[in-house]
């Protein structure tokens, strides 16, 4: 569990602020009340006073059942976790002499990865004398691959030279 989920929520007598903005059990704003008046209103309703926004002045407290509050927070975390999607950076490599057929297969794989929302790191692997070829020629080889992609993309990191060749990172375009 992360630090935010293990943070204690203050309820009832554990609320330390002298005044709180109170939201009733029906969602109505009851205004700014003293801590004692807010606790009494919660007791009269047979519910708990829960501090929902402690970081502001005065803090916001809600009158509701604590178990229901915990349930709602857990549901929100589950929904947030389900919506979040971890993107990976997938890698593809080719050489200068890679055939058109192999390029088409790699482009098809890269297109699938892009539609899934992943980033693709495309490497042009250079050996021997190929490392000293003209940079424009090498960029043209990379462009040859990019033209074969079937999905819209944008360049996340422009082509850069490294010890083993050139790399380029692309991601799904809007």
At which of 83, 104, 139 does a domain end? 83
Task: Look at residues 66, 83, 100 and tell me which one is the last residue of a structural domain.
Answer: 83
pTM for this structure? 0.51
Integer-rounded Cα radius of gyration of the chain: 29
Q: Which domain holds residue 37?
A: 3-83
| pLDDT of 47 | 92
- C-alpha–C-alpha distance, residues 99 and 107, integer Å: 12
CATH number, position 12: 3.10.20.80
Total count of domains within the chain: 2
Calculate mean pLDDT across residues 119-131: 88
Mean pLDDT of the chain: 86
pLDDT digits 0-9 by tens, 68-123: 999 999 999 888 887 776 778 889 998 888 888 999 999 999 999 988 888 999 99
**16 and 79 fall within a common domain:** yes
Together in a domain, 51 and 69: yes
Looking at the structure, tell me whether residues 109 and 153 fall in a common domain: yes
Which of 140, 106, 15 has its CA nearest to residue 66? 15
Give me the mean pLDDT over the 25-34 stretch: 89
For residues 31-43, give the mean pLDDT: 91
Q: In the chain, how many H helices and how many E strands? A: 5, 8
Residue 4 has pLDDT above 70, yes or no: no
User: Is the same domain home to 42 and 98?
Assistant: no
Question: What is the residue whose two structure tokens read 């109170």?
Answer: 22
| 137 bridge partner residues | none
| pLDDT computed for residue 84 by the predictor | 72
Domain limit, last residue, from 83, 98, 114: 83
CA 134 to chain centre: 39
Residues 76 and 121 in one domain: no
Question: Do 58 and 99 share a structural domain?
Answer: no
27 and 101 part of one domain: no
Residues 93 and 44 placed together within one structural domain of the fold: no
28 and 95 in a single domain? The answer is no
Domain containing residue 125: CATH number: 3.30.110.10
């Amino acid at each position: 569990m992360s630090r935010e989920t293990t943070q204690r929520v203050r309820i009832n007598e554990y609320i330390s602020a002298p005044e709180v903005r109170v939201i009733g059990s029906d969602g109505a704003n009851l205004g700014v009340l003293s801590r004692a008046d807010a606790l009494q209103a919660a007791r009269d309703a047979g519910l708990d006073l829960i501090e929902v926004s402690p970081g502001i002045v005065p803090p916001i407290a809600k009158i509701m059942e604590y178990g229901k509050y915990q349930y709602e927070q857990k549901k929100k975390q589950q929904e947030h976790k389900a919506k979040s999607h971890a993107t990976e950076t997938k890698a593809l490599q080719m050489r200068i002499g890679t055939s058109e057929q192999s390029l088409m297969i790699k482009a098809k794989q890269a297109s699938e990865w892009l539609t899934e929302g992943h980033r693709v790191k495309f490497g042009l692997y250079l050996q021997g004398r190929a490392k000293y070829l003209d940079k424009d020629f090498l960029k043209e080889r990379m462009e040859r691959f990019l033209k074969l992609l079937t999905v819209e993309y944008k360049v996340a990191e422009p082509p850069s030279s490294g010890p083993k060749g050139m790399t380029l990172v692309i991601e799904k375009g809007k």
